[in-house]
Amino acid sequence: MRVYFDNAATTPVDKDVLKAMYEVMETQYGNPSSIHAHGREVRTIIEKARKTVSGLLHASPAEFFFTSGGTEADNMAIRSGIIDHGIKHAITSAIEHHAVVHTLQSLEKSGVIKLSYVNIDKKGNVDLAHLEELLKSADRSFVSLMHANNELGTITDIAAVGEICEQYNAIFHCDTVQTMGHYVHDLSKLKVHFLVCAAHKLHGPKGVGFLYINHKIKINPMIFGGSQERNMRGGTENVYGIVGLAKALEIAYAEMDQHQQYIQGLKSYMIEQLQENIPGIAFNGETEPEKSLYTVLNVSFPAMDMAEMLLFSLDIAGISASGGSACSSGTNIGSHVLNGIQANPDRPAVRFSFSKYNTKEEVDFVVGKVKEICKVPVA
């Protein structure tokens, strides 16, 4: 048996998404920048997808720009948002995705900004009072805080962050890669300037995403070379990926309530089973449903010999999971997120992440294998 519990890294593509993409692949091969009939037909497909996305998120189609994924969108928002607006001070947290942290650190190293880190507690919650203090310390700041942490699952109240940022005339960028398609994002109410999506996190294809740019803010492109995406992102559009992204988001919104209930049930069941079967088990980040992303569970196992082999042992046992962010796989420096919340370094941690395709039987399989690996005595 082989089970997949690494959906925070990437998700299986929905069959209806594949079908929608294949239909376009098979029949629509024109370049959307061409003015002839073949090109115009493909341009229409892209704009229809843009309207689908914007309609679901309650914003204008003109505010959405398709990218190669979340990392490009984060880089574009941060670099262009800071440089084009002459921002000298940025605020983030120590547990943001590397696409955010490394980009901001690069700008700090180049002397463009001073970078401040907002306080977080041991579960990854942002200290909003400290955020306000940091905003008071500068004329205008750029704030980058994610909606839900990709390793811990802890959710940040981005509506509250948006209100605070507006009060201090700050630019607010939010990485919603882990929550897009899992929660409703109403951009007619949320006070955010930039928002990011990667299709492969919600059963869409890899290599495509979008950046939402609020109409109240203007930036220059980061990638030059063509007039695509209304002169905001050079390069021929990933037409099939864009179609897949729109279809995946459409499905996600249509089925959101039932999937949230089902997946939260799987997560709660795994928590119960691990607590019952593994002495000394603990969890990193928030686990209460209203405070935690229902697709992510970060587990700290008791200290053990050969702790660094735990993920390898799980893989050999037929379980695909992650030791933190998948973007850090293969490194030996540890998770910057777990370091950021001062997790016990002697306890190996595993991120199990769920999707609509997982089952309770798979959870039972994982718990059984974990008992064997942790050498829990049979009662």
Q: Which of 178, 212, 222, 177 lies closest to 192 in space, CA to CA?
A: 212
Contact (Cβ atoms closer than 8 angstroms) between residue 193 and residue 215:
no
User: Could you give the 3-state DSSP secondary structure of residue 167?
Assistant: helix
For the beta sheet containing 296-300, the strands, ordered from the edge strand earlier in sequence to the opposite edge, are 282-284, 296-300, 349-353
**Nearest to 300, CA basis, from 318, 263, 275, 320:** 275
Per DSSP, the three-state class of 59 is: coil
Q: What is the pTM of this model?
A: 0.94
Query: How far is it, in rounded angstroms, from Cα 38 to Cα 244?
Result: 20
Half-sphere exposure of 40 (CA within 13 A, CB side): 3
Q: Phi and psi at residue 162, in whole multiples of 5°?
A: -60, -40
DSSP, collapsed to helix, strand or coil, labels residue 128 as helix
Structure tokens at 302: 């008791």
Complete DSSP assignment for 270-335: HHHHHHHHSTT-EEES--STTTB-TTEEEEEPPP-TTGGGHHHHHHHTTEE-BSS-GGGTT-SS--
| Closest alpha carbon to 53 in 180, 222, 217 | 180
User: What confidence score (pLDDT) does residue 310 get?
Assistant: 86
Q: Does 3.40.50.720 match the CATH number of domain 15-254?
A: no
Give the DSSP H/E element, type plus range, for residue 70: helix 70-84
> How far apart, in whole angstroms, are the C-alpha atoms of residue 334 and residue 150?
15
Decide: helix, strand or coil at residue 83: helix
CA pair distance 235, 207, nearest whole angstrom: 13
Residues of the chain with pLDDT under 50: 325-331
The CATH class, in words, for 3-12+255-373 is alpha beta
User: Secondary structure of the chain: what % helix, strand, coil (to 5)?
Assistant: 40, 15, 40
Half-sphere exposure of 147 (CA within 13 A, CB side): 22
Task: Please count the CA atoms within 13 angstroms of the CA of 182 that sit on its side-chain side.
Answer: 32
pLDDT tens for residues 182-204? 999 999 999 999 999 999 999 99
The token duo for 84 is 């084009």
CA–CA distance, 256 with 278 (Å, rounded to integer) = 32
Domain residue limits, the chain? 3-12+255-373, 15-254
- What angle (nearest 5°) sits at the alpha carbon of residue 346, between those of residues 343 and 349? 60
pLDDT at position 66 = 98
- Distance between CA atoms of residues 200 and 18, nearest Å: 12
In the numeric block, the tokens 């196992």 are attached to: 301
Strand-pair partners of 175: 196
Query: What 3-state class would DSSP assign to 89?
Result: strand
Which pLDDT belongs to residue 163? 98
Residue ranges of alpha helices (H) inside the chain are 15-27, 37-57, 70-84, 98-109, 128-136, 158-167, 228-231, 239-254, 256-277, 310-316, 336-340, 360-373
Do residues 227 and 181 touch, judged by C-beta distance below 8 A?
Answer: no
Catalytic residue among 165, 197, 327, 374: 327
Active site (annotated) includes residue 327: yes
The C-alpha atoms of residue 236 and residue 352 are separated, in whole angstroms, by 36
pLDDT for the residue numbered 377: 64
274/364 Cα distance (integer angstroms): 10
